[in-house]
Structures are given as C-alpha cells and as structure tokens.
Amino acid sequence: MEFSIDDKTQTILEMIREFMEKEVYPREVQFLGKTMAEMKPLFEEGRQKVRQMELYSPQLPKELGGVGIGFMGYALCCEEIGKSPIGPNLFGSQAPDAGNIEILAKFGNDEQKEKYMWPLIKGETQSCFSMTEPELAGSNPTRLACTAEKDGDDYVINGHKWFTTSADGADFAIVMAVTNPDEPSPYLRASMIIVPTDTPGFDLVRNISVMGHAGDGYGSHGEIMYRDCQVPQSNLLGPEGQGFVIAQERLGPGRIHHCMRHIGIAQRCLEMMCKRAAEREVSEGKTLATKQIIQAWIAECAAEIHGSRLMVLHAAWKIDTQSAYEAREEISLIKFTTANMMLKVIDRAIQVYGGLGMTDDTILSYFYRHERASRIYDGADEVHKVVVARRILRKYQEGGKA
Ligand SMILES: Cc1cc2nc3c(=O)[nH]c(=O)nc-3n(C[C@H](O)[C@H](O)[C@H](O)COP(=O)(O)OP(=O)(O)OC[C@H]3O[C@@H](n4cnc5c(N)ncnc54)[C@H](O)[C@@H]3O)c2cc1C
C-alpha cells in the first residue's frame, strides 16, 4: 500500500487550496441565494482564472484539454474543489457535464465528439442526463417506459422524465430510452440517444423545486415530456441496447466525484466547527473547545472523515487499476457511507454554531439543505446496502461459492 501523493498532484492540490481560500470562500455569499442565471458572469470570471492556472477540468486527460493527473489525482482534487458548492462549476467538473463528457469521449463517434463533446469541454454549452421517470421507480432503472422507435433514418422518442439535472438551459440531453423491447435481458433493452433540446417534441414542462437547490440553469431539475421527438439515428451514443453498460461506466467515476465532494464538505464543516469551538466563549475564560462533549464530536468527526476518505480512495484505486464493474461493491459501500457521514458532520457543525448555524450567514445551512439529496440520487442508501449485503450473503447462502 502506498499512501504518498506525487509531487505534481501535491502542487496542484496546494494551488487549488490557495485559490479556494483566496477567491472562492470569501465570495461565496455573493453566489449563494442567487439564481444560476445571476451567477453566470461570476462563474465566467472564476473559470477564466482557473484556466489561466491550467487547472480547468482536472477530470480530463491533457489531450481533451484537461489537467492530466489521472483518476486518483482527480479524486483528491474533488475533495478540495467540493469544499464549496460553486467549486465544481469554476473548475469545469460539475455534474452532469463531467459525466457526459466522459461517455462522449469513450463512446461517441467523431461527429458526436465534434458537435457535442468539444463545445461542452470548452464550457460553451450545457448538457443533461435524462433517465429517471415519474411513473416508475428510479431505483430500478431497467424499468423504463420511454421508447425510441425507428422511423426511416430517425428515432422517434416518446416518454416522460423528471429530475433531469441542468435541463434548464441545456443544449442537449442524453436520453435513456427503450430501443430493444423484445430483448430478454432487461439490461440490454435501453440505449442512450443525444437529443438537442431545440428538437420539436422536447418539452421542458417545469423546473422541479428541490430543497436547497437553486432551481434554474445548472441547479435545475427538469420534468420533461418527449412527444414524437425525432432525432437522426446517428445520434445513438455507443451501440444500440448498451445504455446500461454505458451508464455503469458513467456512474462509477461519477460516484467517486460525489463521494470525494462529500468528504470535502465534511472536512470544511469540521474545520469551521473547530474554529468556532476554539473562539466561542461560553463562560468566563472557557470556550466551547474546553467541553468534553464538543471534543468528542470533533474526534468522532475526524475519525469518520478519515475512514471515509480512505474507503473512497481505495474504490478509486480499484476503478483505476481494474474497472468500475469490478469495483461495484466498493462503489456501493462508499456511496451510502460518505453521504451519511457528511450529513452527520454538517449537523454537528450546525449544533456547535447554535443559532448562527441556522442562518445563512455561514455556509452550513446551505450544505444541510442542499446535501440531503445525496442519500437519494445516484442510488438511494437502501439500494446500495442491498447490493453490498447480497454479495456478502451469497457466500453463506451458496456454501462458500461466492
Ligand atoms: C437532486 C437530484 C438530482 C437528480 N438528478 C438526476 C439526473 O440528472 N438524471 C436522472 O435521470 N435522474 C436524476 N435524479 C433521480 C434519482 O436518480 C432518483 O431519484 C433515484 O434513483 C431514486 O429513484 P426514485 O426517486 O424514483 O425513488 P424510488 O425508486 O421510488 O425509491 C424510493 C425509496 O424506496 C427505497 N427503495 C427503493 N428501492 C429499494 C430496494 N430495492 N430495497 C429497499 N429500499 C428501496 C429507498 O429508500 C428509496 O429512497 C436526481 C434526483 C435528485 C433528488
């Protein structure tokens, strides 16, 4: 086991830390509480600075205009960038664009890369990923009602989607639709199809109001009707019927991004908690930091953050050295562990801040509202727990043959 971080990654992490401390945290209040449309000029300004430092898109290799530090390096960057809700937008690693770039790079043809991937990499366009449907349980995404039927050289898409993050203002959606309904395996029935949002029949019904989320632009979650929405068959991403295989490729690295972001948030809350405890006098000459119950919280939070970080880095290492498929148990473990750990740390930090913790004068209340969704998206806690337990139990149920 090797825990050291190479010099190049260390330098990049220090540059990101310095940028976050100087440029991002002090200006957070300018951003928060605003609509994404209002934040756009501020994002552009910040992105310019990040580009000048050659730190834009740490998730991408150099040939795609990224930083080129590999997957493990990127995982470490996610912790630093994720300490502020605006970090990923400034560094060009925001979901769902980052995941969409990855699958376009891996499965897109030359024309799709030219038309959709490059403008997304350059930050000129916005994208979304449209899979979950209101009428069917999103926890089992093999059950989709949305269809894409062939008509001449086109696909005609009909379906109802919701929670399509960043749909408002998106230039295109990657839509998961059933193209092979007669395929015996439910995992081989759906395909991913690129749908420009100005296609007739693409109807953004509303931006769903989600607790703690901005509600427009990148922060939107759209309900969309696809009504006889016709796109050329050349908009198929990867082979037909391979939608789930591609989704797996997208979700593995995507979960590392989210989980390291959770660790970044937890670490920042712990640092804020310690600062407040050390400064806040509760009786003559005695600060909160002198109280054993607060000390115990600080120690527990530090231990839980450290344990979670090691788990995520191990999962990232397994994806990097083997594959997202081989690492699926580790990915499930980290998904529910880091989300719950983060929410517990945020809650304790708010408690230490007392009434101030409930206000929007600090970032804590924003994190509390915004991050509750982390136990639901990318697979609810319970679904991941079932995956892990099923694999563990198999060897007992099948006489040690797992
Ligand atoms: C903020 C946010 C952003 C999102 N972004 C996107 C996006 O960009 N694109 C997209 O397509 N979707 C997106 N989603 C949708 C998300 O992926 C789904 O909400 C999630 O998969 C759960 O599906 P569901 O809401 O239909 O809940 P359901 O499937 O109805 O499940 C409800 C609850 O039932 C329990 N449950 C479900 N299955 C099991 C089981 N097998 N065993 C035990 N308990 C179970 C869990 O507690 C779960 O929370 C987003 C959601 C949120 C909240």
Cα separation, 265 vs 87, in Å, equals 11
Which atom of ligand 1 lies closest to the CA of 379? 21
Cα separation, 54 vs 77, in Å, equals 14
Distance 297 CA to ligand 1 centre (A): 31
Neighbours of 274 (CB within 10 A): 18
> Average pLDDT for residues 349-377, to the nearest whole number?
96
Q: Are strands 172-178 and 127-130 parallel, antiparallel or unpaired?
A: parallel
Is the CB of 136 inside a 6 Å radius of any atom of ligand 1? no
Q: Which residue's C-alpha comes closest to atom 12 of ligand 1?
A: 132
The predicted pLDDT at position 401 comes to: 55
Return the higher-pLDDT residue of 276 and 65: 276
The predicted pLDDT at position 31 comes to: 76
Asked whether the predicted pLDDT for residue 13 surpasses 80, the reply is yes
Is the CB of 373 inside a 6 Å radius of any atom of ligand 1? yes
Asked whether the predicted pLDDT for residue 46 surpasses 80, the reply is yes
Token duo for residue 164 = 């399509």
Cis ω for the linkage preceding 96 (within 30 of 0): yes
Q: Which residue's C-alpha comes closest to atom 1 of ligand 1?
A: 373
Q: Of 171-180, 234-243, 317-326, 385-394, which range is least confident?
A: 317-326
Q: Are strands 221-232 and 154-165 parallel, antiparallel or unpaired?
A: antiparallel
pLDDT band at 121 (very low <50, low <70, confident <90, very high): very high
The predicted pLDDT at position 33 comes to: 75
pLDDT band at 400 (very low <50, low <70, confident <90, very high): low
pLDDT band at 250 (very low <50, low <70, confident <90, very high): confident
Is the CB of 96 inside a 6 Å radius of any atom of ligand 1? yes
Is 329 exposed, middle or buried (CB count within 10 Å of its CB: 0-12, 13-18, 19+)? middle
Is the CB of 382 inside a 6 Å radius of any atom of ligand 1? yes
The predicted pLDDT at position 40 comes to: 84
The predicted pLDDT at position 342 comes to: 98
pLDDT band at 35 (very low <50, low <70, confident <90, very high): confident
pLDDT band at 54 (very low <50, low <70, confident <90, very high): very high
The residue behind tokens 């997304």 is 120
The whole-angstrom distance between residue 311's C-alpha and the CA centroid of its chain comes to 17
Question: pTM (2 decimals)?
Answer: 0.95
Is the CB of 164 inside a 6 Å radius of any atom of ligand 1? yes
Nearest to 377 by CA among 138, 137, 142: 138
What would the pLDDT profile of 181-219 be if each residue is shown by its tens digit? Answer: 999 999 999 999 999 999 999 999 999 999 998 888 889
Asked whether the predicted pLDDT for residue 402 surpasses 60, the reply is no
Q: Which residue's C-alpha comes closest to atom 11 of ligand 1?
A: 131
